[in-house]
Every structure is written in C-alpha cells, then in structure tokens.
Amino acid sequence: MRLKFDEQLDLLNKELITMGAFCENAIAMSAKALTEGNPALAKAVPDLSQIDHKEREIETMCLKLLLQQQPVAKDLRVVSSALKMVTDMARIGAQSADIAEIITLANIHATDDTQIIYDMSVAVIKMVTDSIDAFVKKDMQMAKAVIDYDDVVDSYFDKVKKMLIELFSKPETDGEYAIDLLMIAKYFERIGDHAVNIAKWVLFSITGNKEG
C-alpha cells in the first residue's frame, strides 16, 4: 500500500513539473513578445486550455490520493499543498495570457522601457521554477529563497513605476502605451506573488507551517 502511494506521489510531482513548464513557457513567450514588440508571437502564447486541463488532472489525482490511500498527516499536508499550488499555477497561466492579450491589442514596440520589464520577467520565471522544484525536492531553503527573491521582483516593479512617471512627464508620451506597460509589469509582479504562495505551501507541506 505504501509503495503504491509513493509511486502516485512521484507521478503527482511529475505532473506538477509539467504544469509548471507550461506556465514558464507562457511567461517566457509573453516576455519575448514584449521585448520584440511582436504581437504575432503574443498570439502564439499557449491558450489557457492546456494549463486548465492539467490543473483538473492534478486535482483529480490529489482527490483520489486523499480518498483511496488514507494518507498519514505528513502525506496529507503534501497532497493538500499540491491542491493549493495548482490554483496559484493556474492563475499564473491566466496572468501570462492577460499579458499576451495586452501585447496583441496594444501598439507596443521594443524599447529600453520594455527591456526593464523583460528583466523583471526573467526574475519571475526563476521564482516559478524554483518554487516548484522546492516542492519536488522537499527543499525548505530553496522555498525560503523564493520568498526572499520576491524583493528583487518588487525592486524591478519600483523601477518600472519610476520609469513610467518620467515617461508621463514628457509631452510627446503616448499615455495609453505607458498604462499598457504598467499593466504588464503589474501582472508580472502578481505572478511573483503566486510563486511566493507556492513556496509557502512547500514550507507547509514539510513543516505544517507556511512560515517555515
């Protein structure tokens, strides 16, 4: 019975990695479309159906583990944490799609302004990747590092806001363009927040405490 449960937990980890890869790909494609000013690439960002389908698969797997395997307390924390994590991962996918939609509809062109946001997206992808790896590896230090790294993303967001304030001060600035950039940066900042949530669920799965 225990062997079967461990095998199913391994499968759960693989499915979480797959879903995480979908999310990372959506973020990366959206960020690349932004820096290239490429609406066609933004349209190529995978739609949410792929991520939503994987979310439902993992939820079903978790519920079967809870109902059929009678997990002990530690196992129960792992499975319930995975259920919470996929919710954050689905929101990451949705926000990546929102970024792609803004790029598709807006006349965003590659500039130094978009490069700062791209650098922010790289930091966000690192957070998402590391948070999922921390769950699979049961690595508390990695989870805590993700939480701390959110300061880097927040610092990028502050830089973007300052940059946009300067843009607004110039009479030739397209206000709608500046607002679109702010919205994109805000979505990346929210994705970072979801990665922090995932990292906290990792801590909970190991210790029973989201603060580690």
- 65-105 pLDDT per residue, tens: 888 767 778 888 999 999 999 999 999 999 999 999 998 88
Residue 165: band (very low, low, confident or very high) from pLDDT cuts 50, 70, 90? confident
Q: Is the dihedral of CA 180, 182, 184, 190 positive or negative?
A: negative
- 47-56, 103-112, 132-141, 180-189, range with the lowest pLDDT: 103-112
Work out the burial of residue 209: count CB atoms within 10 Å of its CB; fewer than 13 is exposed, 13-18 middle, 19 or more buried: exposed
The CATH code belonging to domain 2-207 is 1.20.58.220
Above 80 in pLDDT, residue 14? yes
What single-letter amino acid sits at 197? N
Q: What is the per-residue pLDDT across 131-155, written as a single tens digit (0 to 9) for each?
A: 999 999 999 999 999 999 999 999 9
Mean pLDDT of the chain: 90
Predicted pLDDT of residue 45: 87
Instruction: Tell me the domain boundaries of the chain.
Output: 2-207
Above 90 in pLDDT, residue 16? yes
Predicted pLDDT of residue 44: 87
